Structure 1
Amino acid sequence: MNEISVSQTYRLLEPGPIVLVTTSLEGTPNVMTMGFHMMIQHAPPLIGCVIGPWDFSHRNLKKTGECVIAIPAVDLAETVVDIGNCSGDTVDKFERFSLRTRPAKDVAAPLLVDCLANIECRVADPSFVDRYNLFILEAKRIWIDESRKERRTMHHRGDGSFTVDGGTLDLRKRMVKWRHLP
């Protein structure tokens, strides 16, 4: 075994797919690409998201307390990377990348029509934001596009490369301890 720098930890433990986060402040929507997120608990469903103050969305989320987490599939890979390479304070990303939206039910941030799923969220606990840039979000509504043909998601490896989900290994029958969960 070879030792590598602990600064590379995130490359080994990245928990979930790359997502897009939409916000809206005073009627102006924004979208960013995010890779640092995790499930915190099942009920109520809490999601931890790291969004730094260098991201235009940080200010929007901090002020409004709400966002949408949209889960893109691999067919949007280049767009997802390009969204992450510009800032909403200088670019209308919805126009530049021809992002199709529809209104959410409970939050002002828009849903992204071309994504697999959209999760409407509200900040549940702001106490970690100033110290760690960690937003604790509660999922309020989930929208899924069951008709979408491309369903593979992408996982960032931290160096500009991605792992793409493939097939599914179904071990639900073995998960006896967790059967009571929906």
Structure 2
Amino acid sequence: MAMKSYPLEKAFTFIEPGPVLLVTTYNESRYNIMAITWHMVLDFTPKIAVATGPWNYSFNALLKNRECVLAVPTIELAEKTVHIGDCSGKTIDKFQQFGLTALPAEKIKAPLIGECLACIECKVTDYLESQNFFVLQGINAWYDEEHKEIRKFHANGDGTFVTDGPTLDLRNLMEDKLPAGV
């Protein structure tokens, strides 16, 4: 084995988080969707951080309304998801443009996405401006158990994506660390 120097500005591609998510917001009687790859689960509770800033149309809705839905698309939505991330909700209705179904959430105004595997209704609990981090608290979760495709896709950060493969089950090694019910 031999390690070789690698450009630091590309090092994030080794640990780019996933899966790719769609984030819905509501602002001024309009729904919007943005694609996001920069996120992380903060602990075993539904506390999640996402990174975005004023360059995204949804940013102001997140700051103003302090809510969103994190929707989990599966691989059949991969190309649509990339297209969603390549355009602005400032000029188009992304639900209409990409043929997606806005479903009512139970506790917030931002909608669920009917074509996604799962959705998490979230409230913004903190915004760390210096890092462009929104800290979200999940307040309600949805799962489509009839969804045929369950494989998610993960961004490598360079325009390529990896899809989920077989699951490696090592629960027996971690049981003492997992919260009850997980």
Same fold at TM > 0.5: yes
The 5 A counterparts of 1:44-63 are 45-63=46-64
Q: Say if 2:17 and 2:155, in contact at 8 Å, map to a contact too.
A: no
2:25 alignment partner AA: T
Once the two structures are superposed, what CA deviation does each residue of 1:78-102 show, in whole Å capped at 9, x if it has no partner?
1001001100111111111011121
CA distance, structure 1, for counterparts of residue 143 and residue 131 of structure 2: 31
Which residue does the alignment assign to 2:25? 23
Distance 2:121 2:74 in 1: 18
Could you tell me how far apart the structure 1 residues matched to 2:85 and 2:48 are? 20
- Unmatched 5+ residue regions in structure 1? none
Question: Kindly tell me: are residues 181 and 7 of structure 1, through their superposed partners in 2, closer, same or farther at Cα, counting changes over 3 Å?
Answer: farther
2:164 corresponds to: 165
Q: Paired residue for 1:35? A: 37
Where does residue 177 of structure 1 map in the other structure?
Answer: 176
Q: Please name the residue that 2:78 is paired with.
A: 77
Deviates more, 1:161-170 or 1:6-15: 6-15
- The corresponding residue for 2:146 is 147
Equivalent residue letter for 2:90: D
State the Cα deviation string for residues 124-162 of structure 1 (Å, max 9, x = none).
122x1x211100000111100011111100000111110
Instruction: Give SS of 2:96's match.
Output: helix
Q: Deviations over 1:32-70 (max 9, x none)?
A: 000000011223x21010012100011110111000000
Normalising by the residue count of structure 1, what TM-score does the alignment of the two structures yield? 0.94
Q: Distance in 1 between matches of 2:88 and 2:158?
A: 20
Q: Which runs of 4+ in 1 moved over 2 A?
A: 179-182
Q: How far apart in 2 are the matches of 1:172 and 1:111?
A: 31
The CA distance in 2 between the partners of 1:24 and 1:180, in whole Å, is 33
Residue type of the partner of 1:2?
Answer: K
SS of the aligned residue for 1:177 comes to coil
What fraction of aligned residue pairs are identical, expressed as a percent? 43
TM-score normalized with structure 2 length: 0.94
Structure 2: distance between partners of 1:135 and 1:10: 20
1:11 corresponds in structure 2 to: 13
Query: What does 1:122-137 correspond to in 2, within 5 Å?
Result: 122-126=123-127, 128=128, 130-137=129-136
Q: Give the letter aligned to residue 50 of structure 2.
A: C
Q: How far 1:4 moved relative to its partner?
A: 1.8
Q: Give ranges in structure 2 of 5+ residues lacking alignment.
A: none
